[in-house]
Chains A and B, each alone.
Chain A
Amino acid sequence: MKRSKPERQTRRALHQLQRLMARAVMRPLTRRGRMQVKWIDGRPAEIVVSQFIKQNDRLTSFERLEIYNRQYWFRLRDCFYDDYPGLRAVLGDKPFEQLADEYLEKNPSQSYTLRNLGSRLVKFLAVNPRLTAPHSELALDLARLEWAHIEAFDNAAERQLKVGDLSGLDAAKIRLRLQPHLTLLKLEHVVADFLIGIKKQAGLRNEASNAMEQNRHHSRVRAVRGLKRRVNFLAVHRYQDGVYYKPLEPGQFVLLSALQKGATLEAACAKLARLKLAGDPGATVRQWFANWAALGWFCGLKPSK
């Protein structure tokens, strides 16, 4: 092993340098897509950056750091384009980019994987309707559906519940667990078919090794208007490795939501009493359960409270 020289930089100084650089890399770009010329405290960024980054014979310290600053935003925006094509189609290009930038600035990634980049978007949109006005409710519906799609795509599929797992148990008292890839949605607009159409070309997420992003050209979209407003219910789930949006009846949504929240079978079914199911309610509910079991939606039992 080489003989080490005395250390000049401490571990703490290293951490401070990395914190400083990360702050610079993650700062929003200007409207023209460049690094901001003023530092956070108002000083010229060139002066601040030159204190820790060397210049060379072609680029100033500022220009060298700017490469990383721009790459950061190009990469994250690209990920957002891939994950939220429906939202982009509804908002149009410019408002979508503005939304992405503001969301990412306030919600920097806290995960090692870009897959989770949008995990806080629904909450963010709910408290920032100005960014999606005048289509805020529609935008919220799409953001929820597109996040549910991501969850359905690669969340776990656990072992399906078998009839034998229930033997000897009091059926009324059991608490069924639903698959982690299943999300139940109550939406204000009919957006499923719209998103299916848009996603036809979508592929798998693919992170690349060491490759720097170029500012990719995304084909422009004309903002979509007039998607039908009607309360509707969906189960977003995975079946045989495909993601599906299964329409649910109101009673199905009520029942599944109750089960997902941990209600016993008896308590969940009791919530149907208010809905007045047509025909033979018992037969209807049995048929629902048969379908859901065939889709593999039940994956175990929650412990009794």
Chain B
Amino acid sequence: MPANPFNHFTDYGIGIGLRVPHYDHILSEKPTVDWFEIISENFMCDGGRPLKILDQILEQYRVVQHGVSMYFGSPGKPDREHLRKLKRLVRRTKTPWLSDHLCWGSVDGRYTHDLLPMPYTFAAARVTAQKIREVRDFLEVPVCVENVSSYAEFHVSEMTEWEFLNEVVERADCGILLDVNNIYVSSRNHSFNPFDYVNDVPAQRVAQIHIAGHSKFRKYILDTHDHPVIDPVWKLYERAIQRVGRTATLLEWDDRIPSFNEVHGEALKANQFLQRLENETLKA
């Protein structure tokens, strides 16, 4: 019996993002992987090779859907065609939960295809939570929102990012996909203590954790998903699992993608932290 409706996917273990350069290796070698996360938009088509590959993956592996274009914080109703296609994919993958970002990216029917930061206001929390509820009710699957990396802050904000996250998920009664790399990137770009963020997240709502690498520039950090995970991000991960317990964990690697084994090996580093947590729990 799960302790709560969101954080009970403990047996999911450690997954990686399903990416095109690894298709051949995965389908021919059938490596042991706990689960794959797919970008929903890459498979929300009506036919062709993407769906054929997906079906082959589904025969062997557990798949969880992650979206990049629902834009919960954008004004207006969710796009109906988008929702219909997403629901069709949800039925195909039988994803146990579905995630997208706590951000906005479209306005007046025009799409930026970016994950733009929210102004952290109560009005924005209300609008966002309402949309999350609408999407969840249509899709009939638990929805989790992911904190994004950001590079700008608004004067109009009335609270911190983590307070905003709390406000939204409480209003929407949804789960959280906690991206500890994004917390780190934003903490450096906006000069806050990333542990304050991790310590304030409602642990019972965290269904999944993302880890990833990023790129450092002179004056800011960009979330590029093209490097291994750095130690400070692992420390945040360790703190996160101390708070939320064993949680489905996923490594994202989206650019300059190395071999499957290298990506999977990087993801499996999370095991040492999970093992340590288990040992501590046993001792206690």
Residues of chain A at the chain B interface (Cβ within 8 Å): 1-2, 4-11, 13-15, 17-19, 21-22, 25-26, 51-54, 56-59, 61, 63-65, 67-68, 71-72, 75-76, 108-115, 152-157, 180-181, 203-212, 214, 238, 241-242
- State which of B113, B124, B155 has its C-beta within 8 Å of the C-beta of A14: B124
Q: A25-B114, A26-B110 are in contact. Are A67 and B152 (CB under 8 A)?
A: yes
Q: A9-B121, A65-B152 are in contact. Are A212 and B109 (CB under 8 A)?
A: no
A63 to B151, CA, bound (A): 10
A22 and B155 within 8 A (CB): no
Give min CB distance, B19 to chain A, whole Å.
Answer: 7
A2 and B222 within 8 A (CB): no
Q: Which residue of B lies closest to A110 (CB)?
A: B109
A75 and B39 within 8 A (CB): no
A206 and B20 within 8 A (CB): yes
Q: Which residue of A lies closest to B154 (CB)?
A: A52
B155 and A53 within 8 A (CB): yes
A211 and B42 within 8 A (CB): no
A113 to B39, CA, bound (A): 12
- Judge if B149 is at the interface, Cβ distance under 8 Å: yes
A53 to B70, CA, bound (A): 24
A53 and B158 within 8 A (CB): no
- Judge if B139 is at the interface, Cβ distance under 8 Å: no
- Chain A at the B interface: mostly helix, strand, loop or mixed? loop
A76 to B225, CA, bound (A): 18
Give min CB distance, A207 to chain B, whole Å.
Answer: 5
B152 and A22 within 8 A (CB): no
Number of A-B contacts (CB under 8 A): 212
- State which of B49, B126, B219 has its C-beta within 8 Å of the C-beta of A204: B49
B101 and A75 within 8 A (CB): no
Q: A51-B155, A54-B154 are in contact. Are A18 and B49 (CB under 8 A)?
A: no
B46 and A153 within 8 A (CB): no
- State which of A5, A57, A113, A210 has its C-beta within 8 Å of the C-beta of B101: A210
A208 to B115, CA, bound (A): 11
In chain B, positions 90-149 with a C-beta closer than 8 Å to chain A are: 101, 104, 106-116, 119, 121-124, 126-127, 146, 148-149
A112 and B69 within 8 A (CB): yes
5 closest cross-chain pairs (CB), A and B: A156-B46, A208-B254, A154-B45, A154-B48, A9-B121
B155 and A26 within 8 A (CB): no
Give min CB distance, B6 to chain A, whole Å.
Answer: 16
B223 and A210 within 8 A (CB): yes
Interface segment, B164-172, B236-244, B260-268, B271-279? B164-172
* 14 A-B pairs (CB sep. < 8 Å): A2-B170, A8-B156, A14-B127, A22-B112, A53-B155, A76-B113, A109-B110, A153-B49, A203-B20, A203-B21, A206-B42, A207-B39, A241-B49, A241-B52
B48 and A11 within 8 A (CB): no
A110 and B111 within 8 A (CB): yes
Given A56-B153, A63-B219, A210-B223, 14 more A-B residue pairs with CB atoms under 8 Å apart are A1-B170, A2-B166, A2-B167, A26-B110, A59-B219, A108-B111, A110-B109, A112-B106, A152-B48, A207-B41, A209-B39, A209-B210, A209-B254, A210-B101
Please name all residues of chain B whose beta carbon is closer than 8 Å to the beta carbon of A13 when the two chains form the complex. 123, 156
Interface size class of B (residues with CB under 8 A): 35 or more
Q: Which residue of A lies closest to B44 (CB)?
A: A113
Q: A58-B219, A59-B219, A112-B79 are in contact. Are A52 and B155 (CB under 8 A)?
A: yes
Q: Which residue of A lies closest to B163 (CB)?
A: A2
- Judge if B11 is at the interface, Cβ distance under 8 Å: no
A13 to B119, CA, bound (A): 11
A108 and B190 within 8 A (CB): no
A14 and B110 within 8 A (CB): no
Q: A9-B156, A211-B255 are in contact. Are A114 and B46 (CB under 8 A)?
A: no
A64 to B154, CA, bound (A): 11
Q: A9-B158, A11-B123, A13-B123 are in contact. Are A64 and B191 (CB under 8 A)?
A: no
A114 to B220, CA, bound (A): 27
Interface string of B160-199 (1 = CB under 8 A from A): 0000001100110000000100100000011100000000
- Judge if B2 is at the interface, Cβ distance under 8 Å: no
Q: A71-B114, A75-B114, A209-B68 are in contact. Are A4 and B152 (CB under 8 A)?
A: no
Give min CB distance, A206 to chain B, whole Å.
Answer: 5
- Judge if B249 is at the interface, Cβ distance under 8 Å: no
Please name all residues of chain A whose beta carbon is closer than 8 Å to the beta carbon of B112 when the two chains form the complex. 22, 25-26, 68, 72, 109
Interface string of B35-66 (1 = CB under 8 A from A): 00001011011111111100000000000001
Q: A14-B127, A18-B74 are in contact. Are A25 and B116 (CB under 8 A)?
A: yes
